[in-house]
Amino acid sequence: MTEQDDIRQFIANQRPRVEAELERCLPPAEAEPARLQAAMRYAVCGGGKRLRPICVLLGAAAVRGPLDSALPAACAVELLHTYSLIHDDLPCMDDDDLRRGRPTVHRVYGEALAVLAGDALLTLAFEVLAAHLLPPVAARAGAVLARAAGSLGMVGGQALDLEAEGRRLSEPEILQLDRKKTAALFSASFQLGGISARADEGHIEVLGRVGLDLGTAFQIVDDLLDLRGTPEELGKAARKDRERGKATLPDLLGEEEAAARARALSEAACEVSRGLPAPDLIVALARLMLQRSR
């Protein structure tokens, strides 16, 4: 088998485990208020690549830790990521009608309930960490995830993204935006895998650096796909970033040069990952991410 076969097999094996664990983490469908539970389940169980929880499991695998120990953190990351998608799609934010090939949560359940569903998933993410990890591990994992998701990470990146609409940013400014908006959560995902496996601090630091580079490359590829893909391929609206005047590397540098930046970041992540006990699957993921079509 090639390294690409290995990572595809890993993803194929682990995605159903993440899906099953997410089902167990969510409140019962019959719990009240039932419509809120339905909106949460609609968002979480509506497909998706599950790439960020896969990165948590890869972080554990890279330090030769047990994958079972990382499953709660993997689910916490996916719950938090799904909250961010719900809120990003709202009319006051990116105003999207399609997500994961289906109408967005606010189009189905209304804006108010969509906000509440996102709030509930965000808080549930930290409940999962607290309930399913041992106290010292849960505290460390919660701090790492909160920092990546907050004003210094994902939420701050979204604020920068909104402020940048219609403005021409420099390459360093766009990269800063991408690192906060997207790469911070990738970095936390890899770190949570190491933390769950009780890896040493040096390996956790390496995992964080890997995630920053891969997450930034992921965002550049995402921006390229927005220009090249169709709604059917992407599961969301295409070419909307350009219509809204979003600041992206493809718009600033052109598609070929932006793709070259993504490749360079991917190779940098591969090089950094060599400091881990078992980096091969991370290297394979880095190469696979450059080839994705959605």
Backbone angles phi, psi at 102, to 5 degrees: -135, 165
Asked if the structure places residue 205 within a domain, the reply is yes
- How far apart (Å, rounded) are the C-alpha atoms in residues 118 and 114? 6
Q: Report how many domains make up the chain.
A: 1
Q: Which amino acid is at 227?
A: L
Question: Do 57 and 67 touch, CB atoms closer than 8 A?
Answer: yes
Asked if the structure places residue 75 within a domain, the reply is yes
pLDDT digits (tens, 9 = 90+) for 46-73: 888 999 999 999 999 999 999 999 999 9
Asked if the structure places residue 294 within a domain, the reply is no
pLDDT digits (tens, 9 = 90+) for 254-281: 999 999 999 999 999 999 999 999 999 9
The CA-based dihedral angle spanning residues 284, 223, 159, 252, taken in that order and rounded to the nearest 10 degrees: 120
Asked if the structure places residue 271 within a domain, the reply is yes
**Prediction pTM value:** 0.94
Question: Do 144 and 128 touch, CB atoms closer than 8 A?
Answer: no
Record the tokens describing residue 54, joined without a space: 């896969």
Domain span at residue 18 reads 3-289
pLDDT digits (tens, 9 = 90+) for 155-201: 999 999 999 988 889 999 999 999 999 999 999 999 999 999 999 99
CATH of the domain at 261: 1.10.600.10
- How far apart (Å, rounded) are the C-alpha atoms in residues 18 and 35? 24
